[in-house]
Every structure is written in structure tokens, then in C-alpha cells.
Structure 1
């Protein structure tokens, strides 16, 4: 029985258990709900939880433990001549055995007998069934593959039987516990609280795991390349080493990438902040409710457009447009029609990224402006100030901490952008001040360093983790500072 089918049956048992528990609680109440400690729905949920949760836990444990046990058993059955050649050879042989097992499952009895007798070639027979095998294959692999298939089939049937037995047993146990004064609500709420704790723990542990993995690989990189050279170097030229080489040839200066990241983000913020902030002020203070209910969702549609689409827009439309405009301006001024803005440039990426960031600035700022107490507006207008004076001298100063926090959150979004920069700003890692020339960012080089069939043994690939942890620290600091400002603003008025 497949895992998906087994899960479906468990859910079906839980569904039946819910109505069975609910019906039993109604029967125990004697027709009066006041006799029950908990509502019938809680009793049904209690029975459903006992029917599904233990069975799901057993299924998860079985799916984790069974492959480990089967691999260990098959591995111990391999010939001593294979086991004695080291861990790498043993793992390769085990992988080939699993490939042979897949092929054997597709063969009929005659084909399997031909392989066992040696009258058929193992590699050719499996290739005919769509299974590629590295090498010609050894006779011991057929026996080991048969053992693997048998153990896996037995394990799957045992798993199905045990899981279904646990589900039924849990359902019966829970139904027998139901009585008029049974505290089903307390039991259900305890399970829900535990589920919330587990969910929050998974999120925290995932973050810890990501940071730990990045730190460990970055530490390996810094054993090969000096941190001073990385953080203060002005030249980025990793020079990919040959496969299997661990040479440290190349220069890994972070400053060109960091400069490009901050430069493009700065240009994007210069474009997004005025437009987004003015749009937020208009939506919050001037627009009618009908216009606001229509225009704000339309503006926020920009946030749902994939960044690769923005990249295509920059590559096909914005970049060529700026290049042609620069050529026309150059011709009018100097008579020489030579474009001084490259199609792939900092300003191209900044403008398109700014368009992408407008809904972030607008939506966050609008929410903050609308949270300013109404009494401040009415007091200013009552003293004779115009609406524009009220916005400029009362509302914006009051909302300024929250707006600054929103802008910092938007900046952290800009710093982490990748696809727009790849297509709009190029991949040239260099330090320069002109916004009309190509530059690149940290995220682009992370993708570039990890593209292809690579091994994490050389600084040319491990540098991606050093770049990643650097970008993580930058965005983390921006987010922490933004949240600090936003919380301070909320405490002022709540």
C-alpha cells in the first residue's frame, strides 16, 4: 500500500471517528447538552485526534527507520571484497544494487530467471526497461537487489497493517473514554497548544539550521582565503579551478559586490520612496473610499508580479529605451549620436527594482499613516490648518518612525533581489560611481558560483556561503532595526 493511500485511509478513519465520538457524546448526554462538560464537537475532535495522530506518528517513524534498516541489512550482505574497499566503494555498490532492484521490479519471471542463470546481460536487460546502470554489473547485485525488494515489500505491508491497527485502536480507546463529564475540550486544546509549539519550533530550528550550515561552509572558506582579503579586497576574480582541484587561485574581494548591491538598492529606493510615499499619502488622506478600494488593490498587484518578469521588462523595454534616449540627448548636445547609458546598467536595474518596490512602500506607509489617531487630524483642522498643512506638519511627523521602519524593511527586500539585477545590471563586478555602467550584486554572484555541476571542496564554490552569510547579516540588521522603530512607534499610540 502506498504512503499516499495510507494517509488517505487514516484521514477517512479520523473523519468517521469524529462523527462516532460526537454521536457517543450525544448519547451520553441523555438529550441535554447541559449534561456534557464539553460540546459534542470537542468529543468528536478528541476521538479523531486519537485515531489520526498516533497513526501518523508511527507512519513517520516507520518511513524514517525502515530505509535505514533495509540499507543496513543489504549492505551487510554485500561481499567482503566490496566492503573491504572503503566507504565510497560500498556506497557506490549499494546505489547500483538499488538501481538493479528498480529494474528487477519491472522484469517478468522468465527475464529474472535468465539473469539468475547468467544467460542474459544485466546491464542490457535493465537498459531495455529504462534503467541505466553504471558498469556491467556483478552477479551478487542480483541477489542483493532481490533481498532489497523483498524487504521493502514486507516492510510496506507491515507498515500498513501496524498503522491501520494503531488508528483503529486509538479510535476505540478514545470512544471508550467518552462520558458526560469527560473534559474533551481540555484534551483537544492541549493537543492544539502542543501543535502550535511544534510549528513555532520548526520555524526556529529551520532558521538555526540554515545559519549553521552557512556558517560551517563559510568557516571552511575562510580556512582557504584570508577574511581580510575577502572583506577588504577590491577585485573579484574567482577563476574557477579545474574539477577536483582545491587551489586558491583567484581574488575574492567583497567590496565590488557589496558596492554594487548597495548602489543598485540606493537607486531603487530613490525611485520607489517618493512615488510610494506620495501614493500612500493620497490613498490615506485625499482619496475617496470608493477610489481607495479600487486603486489600492491595483497598486498592490505590482507586488505579485514575479521578479523574472520585471527582469524581462528591464531587458526588453527599459534598458533599450534609456540607451536610445541617451543617444538622442548626446546627438542634440554634441552632435555625436553615441549612447552614454548602457542597456544593462545600475540605473536600469534601479528603476525597474524601484517599480517593484512601490507597492511595498505604499502599502506599509499607508497602514502606518492610517494608524495615526484621528484626534490629531481633527485638532489640526480645528485650529484652522489646511489639509496639506495637517499632512505636512502633524501626520507625517507623527508617522515618521513607522515610515522609516517600513522603508528599512523595503531596503532589505531590495538588497536581496537577484533576477532583476541579472538581466538589468549585468554580471560585471567592478567599483565605479557612474550609474550608467553595469555592476552586479552579492546575490547574482552567489547564483553564479553555485551554477553547474560543482563540488563544495574549493574556495570558488565555498565563497558563495561567505557571500550568503554576509548578505544574511546585512538584511538581518536592517530588519531588526526596522522592527525596533516600528515597535517604538506602535507603543507611542496604542
Structure 2
């Protein structure tokens, strides 16, 4: 049974249980709701919760664990000769899942019967061509071990789906029956419902924490695998980045960190002054009508996809900077180390700074508006002008929050990818090149995020250091942004108390 249908059936059972339990509770009170311990709504809500929540939680847990269990069971049955040259067991299992999905599609379209999918005869040994006849495309030919594994995969999936359907429906019916039996006038339905809702709220509040822990652990385990094959000293201290999937790679993180920090610095030099001045103007000088138009217009920048910013950098900003510098070269005959490419640190930094303006502006505007009006009135009452009040009272009072906003914008800049790909190129900084070349903002450089994408893109061996380095880069970036966020929260909480 499709998962959507199963969810709808469970919800329908919950609705039916709601009305049955509500009616039974009223009947036990002689039709007078005043004789009930709780309102009739709570008796119905208790039935809906017992019929739906346990069943849906079981289904979610089952859907998470089922692919893991099936993958392990099928993988263990693969013979050693099924692992082809240059391949791994995980890659073969990817082929198995693709073939199984292709057989499912063929059966759904009616071009192949379920019996044929379960037992493809010898005349269909070329499964790729057979599935292509029914509109299912596979990337390569399928051998007999892969086909057998795919058929086992489908059989286990069907069996597990049937068991899940039976258990979920049984749990839903059992919950509805239990709630119906409990629906008596003396049952404390309100207490039960409120306690259950409190547990659900606690469970929902822990999702973010559990997600963070999962991300950290996944990065940490794969990073440990990387450092088993590659020395950590070379990773953290080497000034060369030259991956080679055939071996003898230089995987130093320093060039990538330098490009990340350099581009982020230029972006902040653009975003912080513009965003802060815009926030001061909107909060202290602009009238209500202008503010109602200008602030949403600035915040529109935050809603533009980063790929659009990247195209803007590639098509407009980069060529403008290149043409301007070439003009200077033609006029003066001087400009060091600038090539014909429009990709540069300056291009990515300027466009990224434009993207960060609403982050700094909106947060700073809210923080400045949160400064008590009494501080403004006191300063003006002592004879200070409006500008003096802003410089000497409002900005110092809001400074911790502004610093926090800047640090949060820096975290956003460090994690940006698309603008860097299209605006700054994909070449890592070269520390061993001409002196000072890595300081030239008009040179092409790249960042950690770009290399994470490039190292995980393509059909490569997942267990090689050149692929696992992406997780080490991700963990390094995670620690950097986490440190900035923690420092921002510390600044805000440490100094905000002075003005409360």
C-alpha cells in the first residue's frame, strides 16, 4: 500500500475515533456535558491522538530503518565476483537499487507483469534493453548477480511494506479502541491530552538538537576515515591544494581557508557600512511612509536566489571590473598580475556583500529600534543634537547586537557557494607563486564550500582520500561557523545587560 494511502487511512481512523469517543463520553454523562470531568472535545482529542500519533511515529521509524535493513541484507548476499574491477560493494548496491526501481516503474506502467519482474527469464538477461523498451533508462548493462540482488531487494521491500501496513493499521485500531473504552465521564481526558501534547512539543523541540548531533557525527566519522589515509599535519599545515584521484594528492586546507576568509572579508567591507548606515537612516531619520517602502525593498535582496547573484557576478560585475582595470592598464601601463579572466576575489566579494546587506540592515534596524526611547529623550534633553545622540548614545547601546549581526553575516558569507563558483572561479590560492600574488584581490580564488562540492561530484571512489577530504573540509567549516555564532551570542548576551 502506498504510504500516502496509509497516512490517509490512519487519519480517517483518528477522525472516526474522535466522534465515537466524544459521543460515548456524552452518553456516559446522560447527555449533559456538565457531568463530564473534561470538555467533550478532550475525549475526542484523546481518541484522535491515540489512533494517529503512535501509528504515524511507528511508520516514520519504520521508513527510516527499512532501507538500512534491506540494504544490509541484500549486500551480504552479493557474491564476491559481483564486485567488478574498479567498483565497490556500495556502488554495486547503487546499481541494485536502480534496477529495482526500474522494475517497479515497469510494473506500474503495465509494461511488465509482477511475475516477470520477480523472475526474468534468460531471454531478458539484457535487462537494460528490456527496461528501455518500457521507457526505463539505466546507465549500463545489468549482469545476473545484480539482477538477482535487485529481485531480492524488491521482494524484501514488498514484504516489509506489508508488515508495516499491518502493524500501523493494527496500532491505529488498537489506539482508537482503547480511547473508546476510556471515554467515560470520570476519565481525566484533559490531563491526558495536555500531557501528551507537552511530550510532543518536547519531541519537536529536540529535532534541531538531534539533527545537529547527527550532522556532527556523520562529519566526524568520515573525517576520521580520511585522517586514517592522509596525515592531519599535511591537511592543516600544507599550503598546496592539488587533488589527484590517481594518487599523490596534496590536500592542504590553508589555500581554501585563505580564499574563504579573503572573499568574506571583502563582502563584509561592503555589507557592514552600507547595511549599518541604511539601518540608522531607516530607524532614526526616515518617516513612516518612506520606511514602509524602503525596508521591504532592501529585504527583497535576501529573497533573491544565490544562483541569480552568481549570474550577476559572472555576466555584469566581473566584466565591469575587468574592463575598468584593462582601461587603467592601457592608460598607465601598470597593473600587476591581472589576466583577461573576469573571475576574481573582488567580483565575488562585491556581489556577496550586496547579498549580505539585508542581513546586516534588518538585524541592525531591529536592534536600534529596541534601544529604549528614554535614552534618546535623555540625551536630547541634555542638549545633544540628533546626530550626537545617534553617535554617542544609540550606537553604543546597540553595539553588542550590531556586532552579533555582523558575525552572523560573516557566517553566511563563509558558507556561500554559488556566488564563488561563478564569480571567483574554482582555482585555489597559490602560496608558492609570485610574492604577494595571493593577496591580489583581482586573482581568481576559491573557497572551502566550492571544493566540497567538486570533490563529491562525479563517479569516484567514495573511500579514497580525495573524496573523504570533503568531510574534513565540511567539519572545518562547521567549526568555523559554529565558533562565530557562539561568539556572536556571547557578545550579545554579555553586554546587552548593561542597557536592560
TM class, shorter-chain normalised?
Answer: 0.7 to 0.9
Give the corresponding residue for 2:373.
374
Answer yes or no: is the 8 Å Cα contact 1:268–1:354 preserved in 2.
yes
Q: Could you tell me whether the CA contact under 8 Å between 1:276 and 1:359 is conserved in 2?
A: yes
Asked whether the equivalents of residues 330 and 340 of structure 1 are also in contact (C-alpha less than 8 Å), the reply is: no
What is the rounded CA distance, in whole Å, between the counterparts of 1:445 and 1:4 in structure 2?
A: 39
3-state DSSP class of the match of 1:297?
helix
Q: What residue is the counterpart of 2:144 in the other structure? A: 137
Give the equivalent residue in structure 1 for 2:96. 95
Give the equivalent residue in structure 1 for 2:59: 59
For 2:118 and 2:345, how far apart are their aligned partners in 1?
67
What is the match of residue 427 of structure 2? 428
Aligned runs of 1:440-459 on 2, under 5 Å?
Answer: 440-459=446-465
Which residue of structure 1 lines up, in the alignment, with residue 3 of structure 2?
3
Which of 191, 200, 204 aligns to 2:205? It is: 200
Instruction: Summarize the alignment of residues 326-345 of structure 1 with structure 2, pairs less than 5 Å apart.
Output: 326-334=325-333, 343-345=342-344
Report the alpha carbon displacement of residue 262 of structure 1 after superposing the two structures with TM.
0.9
- Cα distance in 2 for residues equivalent to 1:282 and 1:138: 70
Q: 1:123 is matched with which residue: 113, 122, 126?
A: 126
Any unmatched runs of 5+ in structure 1? none
User: How do 1:214-293 and structure 2 match up within 5 A?
Assistant: 214-238=219-243, 240-242=244-246, 247=247, 249-293=248-292
Going from structure 1 to structure 2, the CA distance change for 1:310 and 1:65 (only over 3 Å counts) comes to closer
Write the distance in 1 (CA, Å) between the matches of 2:254 and 2:18. Answer: 61
TM-score, L = length of structure 1: 0.85
1:439 to 441, 445, 448: 445
After superposition, give the CA deviation of every residue in 1:16-45 in whole Å (9 maximum; x if it has no partner).
323333444444555655444333332221
CA shift digits 1:136-183 (9 cap, x unpaired)? 5389949x94x8767765654554444334323321221221233422
Change (3 A) 1:114 1:366: closer
Secondary structure (helix, strand or coil) at the match of 2:144 reads coil
Question: Cα distance 1:347–1:227, how it changes in 2: closer, same or farther (>3 A)?
Answer: same
Q: Which residue of 2 aligns with 1:470?
A: 476
C-alpha distance in 2, partners of 1:139/1:315? 45
* Distance in 1, Cα, partners of 2:237 & 2:74: 52
Q: Is the 8 A contact 1:330 1:339 kept in 2?
A: no
Which of 159, 177, 182 is the equivalent residue of 2:187? 182
- 1:363, distance to aligned residue in structure 2 (A): 0.8
Kindly report the root-mean-square deviation, in angstroms, between the aligned alpha carbons of the 2 structures.
3.7
TM-score (norm 2): 0.84
- Identify if the C-alpha distance between structure 1 residues 289 and 72 changes in structure 2 by more than 3 Å, giving closer, same or farther: closer
Aligned length: 479
User: Do 1:103 and 1:126's aligned partners in 2 also have CA atoms closer than 8 Å?
Assistant: no
Per mean C-alpha deviation after superposition, the further-off stretch among 360-369 and 438-447 is 438-447
